[in-house]
Structure 1
Amino acid sequence: MQSLLSELFSWLACRFRGRAELELEVIALRHQLAVLRRQRSGRSQLFAIDRLIWVWLYRVWPRFLNVLVVVKPATVIQWHRQGFRLYWRWRSKSGRPSINRELRDLIWQMSEANPLWGAPRIHGELLKLGIEVSQATVAKYMVRRQGAPSPSWRSFLRNHAEGIAAIDMFVVASASFRLLYVMIILAHDRRKIMRTAVTEHPSEAWLSRQVTEAFPWDTAPPYLLRDRDASYGAYFRKRIEVMGIKDVVTAPRSPWQNPYVERVIGSIRRECLDHIVIFNERHLRRVLSSYADYYQRTRTHLSLEKDCPDSRPIQHRSVGRVVAVPRVGGLHHHYERLAA
């Protein structure tokens, strides 16, 4: 009796197992037929749902590969492995506690501003700020870069600005309609006016002497940027070569290639000379000296983060009341706090 029951149960199991396999085979064949009906230009068009159905059939019925004809069996196995990797990647991410938006933005800003830093360096900076976070979390929210890290053009130019100076000249008409030539030398790093000079007849020897007096001893920059004015003749080029300065000449009619000194000349005109009638050479020297002092010690610059070439200290409210000090003959004012 017991053997008869066991044979009956085994027959029923085989019966149901065969019926389930038959139904799965029908599903697989019908789905492949539907895919073939979508065929366009001799190639089957597959969607994500097709791949999911075939991967599911392979999971529940491995012999499904024997009836698959639309794609190769190895392709379905590859889809299954990819889905397995995506599933566990999602599981590993969902298991890690998330951090707040402010900290994620801070990690992103550090990585963006410091392209040469890796996750250990940023993690160390966060620890010094009292922020407890794992190094793996820092690596997760860093900027993704392709290839070797590279600094931005802004930081690259700032690192090289210290070794560059520029020279240029402009003309000022006096009250008697005499033309006076103004020479200006500007250091690029802090936009500092190194020297201004005035003459009625610029020459190679005069320009060479101005460069020598602007950079005494070993303070000469490696590069001097200038235009193609005929006043910078052979004598001038020989003098700066002896000083160890490399002459960098802009292209013809391209003042935009020497922008910093051109911007300073424009500021001198707009903020000073356009509002004054120059009487003579001596008067022009005095006006330029007053404006250069204002430019160096008082006037704030956007390129220096609202600071001056000669950095101004910040005066707090507790020092005293604010007073205005006239500069450049009253054209501009300097504001500072006086102790009560």
Structure 2
Amino acid sequence: MLMRFAYLAVSQAFAALRLLPMGDREKDVEILALRHQLSVLHRQLGDERPRFRAEDRAFLAALLSGLPRQTLRQLRLLVSPDTVLRWHRDLLRGRHARASARRCPGRPRTVVSVRRLVLRLARENPSWGYRRIHGELAVLGIWVAPSTVWELLKAEGIDPAPQRSSVTWADFLRSQAEAILAMDFIETVTLTGERQYVLAVIHHASRRIRIVGTTAHPTHAWVTQAVRNLLMDLEDAGQLATVRFLIRDRDAKYPALMDQILQGSGIATVLTGVQVPRMNAVMERWVRTLRAELLDRTLIWNEAHLRRVLRIYERHYNQHRPHRTLVGAAPLRALPGRLEPRQVEHLDIRRRDRLGGVLHEYRHAA
């Protein structure tokens, strides 16, 4: 726009030089001719308003602003005198705004890495307000104003700390996974039509599954003894000291004595809501896996056969089956080291079938 305005001003300056040798009569004739041409243009345009570019407005404002308003009203212009004066005010306002911007550049933008750190601290610590985050940044040697932290959180739509500090059920499960067991009954039917009940427990952090027992009659005495066996197994594995919660539903098969036994070992029973299976989602997801990979693909003859296949599947699940939550590792088996490209070219992978081919396990040849 500035270059176009300069070109327009220079060209009009040369046009003014052309007027110097002209007499008053020639100038009056040219003025009358130009006024008549404007009348023709007004007649052709009608109600349509002429379009002026930015440099046209600037040039006319600079040229005509010095004339009195009464003189402007007598001139035959395509726009009203008030419009010309408004253009002049806008021109001066823009110049002052640019001068102010040069004098007051404002605060520099916050470094991107600091912005990311502020958002990370707010996300990982829901109870921290902007002043607490500001203090943590100061401990790290990062100096920003508290108002800057507040503005960053507001710009990202992050609520103030009192509205973020409430802990959801999912957050509780993730933060306490090492201390949580989940329990549930699974029902299945043998070929003879007998209903069997499988009691299983899963550890949230390691995803290790334990088949506590199977029975056709889950009496309170049987469940109580199964829980005692579970506690002994946890003590032998060195996990009893770390477990603090056991999640289960409100099934009537669980006796009140069971909760007392668990409480004596420092384990609190957490009951799920009525018809809210998502509160025990980890266990419910394992039940679905058990049905899809074993029970729906196997003909169960009797209780003894059920115990055998469950024992094999428990070993397969804990020692071989990869788990997405564990990034491909199994609950009781860590991932091996990554193979080199030359080793991948000469792989010899053997398949081992379990339960008559229902389960497949792949290993390197010895």
* TM tier relative to shorter chain: 0.5 to 0.7
Aligned runs of 1:219-230 on 2, under 5 Å? 219=241, 221-230=243-252
Q: SS of 1:162's equivalent?
A: helix
Q: Which runs of 5+ in 1 are unaligned?
A: 1-18, 35-48, 61-79, 126-133
Q: Structure 2: how far apart are the matches of 1:309 and 1:165?
A: 14
- Aligned partner (choices 190, 193, 197) of residue 174 of structure 1: 190
Tell me: CA distance 1:209–1:150, structure 2 relative to 1, closer, same or farther (3 Å).
Answer: same
Q: SS of 1:325's equivalent?
A: strand
Q: Which residue of 2 aligns with 1:165?
A: 181
Aligned runs of 1:58-69 on 2, under 5 Å? none
Q: Structure 1: how far apart are the matches of 2:138 and 2:320?
A: 40
Q: Which residue of 1 aligns with 2:280?
A: 258
Say if 2:360 is the partner of 1:333: yes
Q: Which residue of 2 aligns with 1:74?
A: none
Q: After superposition, give the CA deviation of every residue in 1:233-288 in whole Å (9 maximum; x if it has no partner).
A: 22222222222222222222332321111111111111011111112212111111
Indicate conservation of the 8 Å contact 1:116/1:151, yes or no. Answer: no
**Structure 1 stretch displaced more, 314-323 or 329-338:** 314-323
Q: Which residue of 2 aligns with 1:72?
A: none
Q: Structure 1: how far apart are the matches of 2:104 and 2:191?
A: 84
**Structure 1 stretch displaced more, 314-323 or 277-286:** 314-323
Q: Which residue of 1 aligns with 2:45?
A: none
Q: Which residue of 1 aligns with 2:90?
A: 53
Tell me: CA distance 1:241–1:116, structure 2 relative to 1, closer, same or farther (3 Å).
Answer: closer
**Structure 1 stretch displaced more, 276-285 or 315-324:** 315-324
Indicate conservation of the 8 Å contact 1:169/1:183, yes or no. Answer: yes
Q: Which residue of 2 aligns with 1:281?
A: 303
Q: Structure 2: how far apart are the matches of 1:195 and 1:220?
A: 20
Q: SS of 2:226's equivalent?
A: helix
Q: After superposition, give the CA deviation of every residue in 1:13-69 in whole Å (9 maximum; x if it has no partner).
A: xxxxxx96989xx9xx947x97xxxxxxxxxxxxxx99x939829x87xxxxxxxxx
| Paired-residue identity, % | 25
The number of equivalent residue pairs is 261
Tell me: CA distance 1:220–1:203, structure 2 relative to 1, closer, same or farther (3 Å).
Answer: farther
Q: Which runs of 5+ in 2 are unaligned?
A: 1-64, 73-80, 126-132
Tell me: CA distance 1:284–1:122, structure 2 relative to 1, closer, same or farther (3 Å).
Answer: farther
TM-score, length-scaled by structure 2: 0.56
Indicate conservation of the 8 Å contact 1:167/1:183, yes or no. Answer: yes
Indicate conservation of the 8 Å contact 2:248/2:280, yes or no. Answer: yes
Tell me the CA shift for residue 168 of structure 1: 0.7
Q: SS of 2:263's equivalent?
A: helix
Indicate conservation of the 8 Å contact 2:178/2:242, yes or no. Answer: no
Q: SS of 2:325's equivalent?
A: helix
- Aligned partner (choices 193, 200, 210) of residue 216 of structure 2: 200
Q: SS of 1:169's equivalent?
A: strand
* Backbone CA RMSD of aligned residues: 4.6
Say if 2:169 is the partner of 1:147: no
- Aligned partner (choices 169, 177, 187) of residue 203 of structure 2: 187
Q: Structure 1: how far apart are the matches of 2:263 and 2:202?
A: 19
Tell me: CA distance 1:92–1:244, structure 2 relative to 1, closer, same or farther (3 Å).
Answer: closer
TM-score, length-scaled by structure 1: 0.60
Q: Structure 2: how far apart are the matches of 1:122 and 1:206?
A: 57
Q: Structure 2: how far apart are the matches of 1:211 and 1:272?
A: 24
Say if 2:316 is the partner of 1:298: no
- Aligned partner (choices 195, 203, 212) of residue 228 of structure 2: 212
Q: Structure 2: how far apart are the matches of 1:86 and 1:207?
A: 80
Q: Match for 1:147: what amino acid?
A: P
Q: Structure 2: how far apart are the matches of 1:321 and 1:124?
A: 52
Tell me: CA distance 1:317–1:237, structure 2 relative to 1, closer, same or farther (3 Å).
Answer: closer
Aligned runs of 1:9-88 on 2, under 5 Å? 30=82, 53=90, 56=93, 84=100, 88=104
Q: Match for 2:191: what amino acid?
A: A
Q: Match for 1:304: what amino acid?
A: L
Q: Which has the larger radius of gyration?
A: 2
Indicate conservation of the 8 Å contact 1:298/1:312, yes or no. Answer: no
